[in-house]
Amino acid sequence: MIYKFLTGYMKKFVYFILISFFLHACANEHEFGVSNEEDEEMLKFPVMKAEPIPDHYIIVFNEDRISFRMDADDLEGTERLMVKEVEDFLKTHRVDPESVQHIYSIALPGFSAKVNAERLPDLLVDPKVKYIEQDRRGELGPFQVLKRPGQEEEQIVTTQVIPWGVARAGGPFTYRGRHSVFVLDTGIDLAHPDLNVDDKKGFDAYNSKKKDYDLNDEHGHGTHVAGTIGALDNHFGVVGVAAGVPVVPVKIFTGPRAEYTYSGLIAGINHVGVRGIPGDVANLSFGGFDDSRALDEAVLRVSEKRRIWMVIAAGNSGLPATSFSPARVNGPFTITVSAFQIGDRFASFSHFGFPVKFSAPGVNVRSTWTNNRYVNSSGTSMAAPHVSGIRVLGEIEKDGYVLNHPIPENPDPIAVRR
């Protein structure tokens, strides 16, 4: 049974990973950046911290000690055999099979479950067990829209705006390929007329049965990300970098406060590995979390074994990216992204340094929002989808380097497509 992580379990701390800026519609999108420096100074992004969930663990097997060979080219067979492996392990250690939350396959050989902490020593001496990580939970908090006096929430408008970030990335481009971008986030507004949502490949980490999936966005973050990636070129609203590319909702944050567990995040990564094809892109606009070995390994394994591009937000607390999961993951198919503002100035809130590979627009970025609306928002969460849009189109090029970088001798290249 999937562990339902709902409101009421949270302590009275709220961490805000993003602050949104909403401005009037106008024909020239660059007008949205006139107060760019002022907006950047208003941003306050604390380090994201999660709290341990008592008696809930992620149990990872040694791949060379399980009874079968994991085959990235036979995903159904691998999933079926992993279910049997977990069942046998639980039977051996007399653990209730109803305690299982998620069974992983391509992302990690293992599972998550509710297990009494007193049982851990017995499990750890089993040679099949590689390590056990305590599950954690947290929340992003509400999507904050910071309105200025006299501003109204914008519904569908009859003129289409090219957001400044899309233009800086070289776009927009019309997507005509066979790939998808998986948006691992709060879901996507399934009815937004400016998005090409592929819910058939979607996933809800907090509902065990597909018939119970709720892929719709109750928060706003995922819809905003999806619009930057691929909003339609349809003469209204905004247009994305890879206009019209299918965006797949993988819901790993749930509810209006975007609550999550680490076991749920990994379940979303595993789903991308199962449903994605080589050359697909996964957008991970949640790079600045406290460290998790299991999450980092899941991201790296799926990217390498399935050759799926993992585009990861660097994080928003102005610190080295290498200290945070999954931003610190570095592999041939991972791309960690920092943020800059109009004028190519590095955003002061952005994480920096290894393994950041590119920088993209992340201040005052206009995109789609829930209930057919459009807002501006800031953060490396907004930078990463520009790169996801570029990557699904093909190779990423660079157009100079960001200014005022914290490491002047090694500034981040600006991602574009020409």
| Cα 181 from chain centre | 11
Q: Which amino acid, residue 2?
A: I
* Torsion of the alpha carbons at 386, 389, 392 and 393, rounded to the nearest 10: -110
Contact 222, 186 (CB under 8 A): yes
Interstrand relation of 110-114 and 100-103 (parallel, antiparallel or unpaired): antiparallel
Q: Which of 405, 377, 304, 410 is nearest to 17 (CA)?
A: 377
Cis amide linkage into residue 163, ω under 30° from 0: no
Which entry of 56, 102, 221, 351 is annotated as an active-site residue?
221
Our answer to whether residue 185 is catalytic in this structure is: yes
The number of beta carbons lying within 10 Å of the beta carbon of residue 323 is 16
E strand or H helix at 139:
strand 129-139
Assigned token pair, 285: 């606009």
List phi, psi (to 5°) of 328: -80, -5
Alpha-carbon distance values, 205 to 4, 158, 192 (Å): 9, 36, 22
How far is residue 227's CA from residue 241's CA, in Å, rounded to a whole number? 9
How far is residue 278's CA from residue 391's CA, in Å, rounded to a whole number? 13
The number of residues in the chain equals: 418
Contact 321, 328 (CB under 8 A): yes
Interstrand relation of 51-61 and 129-139 (parallel, antiparallel or unpaired): antiparallel
- Residue 47 DSSP code: P
Dump the DSSP string for 68-104: S---TT-HHHHHHHHHHHHHHHHHHTT--GGGEEEE-
Provide CB contacts within 8 A for 73, sequence distance 6+. Answer: none
Which entry of 381, 386, 405, 412 is annotated as an active-site residue?
381
Assigned token pair, 398: 């660079």
The number of beta carbons lying within 10 Å of the beta carbon of residue 305 is 18
Our answer to whether residue 221 is catalytic in this structure is: yes
Which entry of 39, 135, 185, 204 is annotated as an active-site residue?
185
Q: Which amino acid, residue 283?
A: N
Our answer to whether residue 56 is catalytic in this structure is: no
In the block, residue with structure tokens 């400044």: 164
Catalytic positions, written as ranges: 185, 221, 381
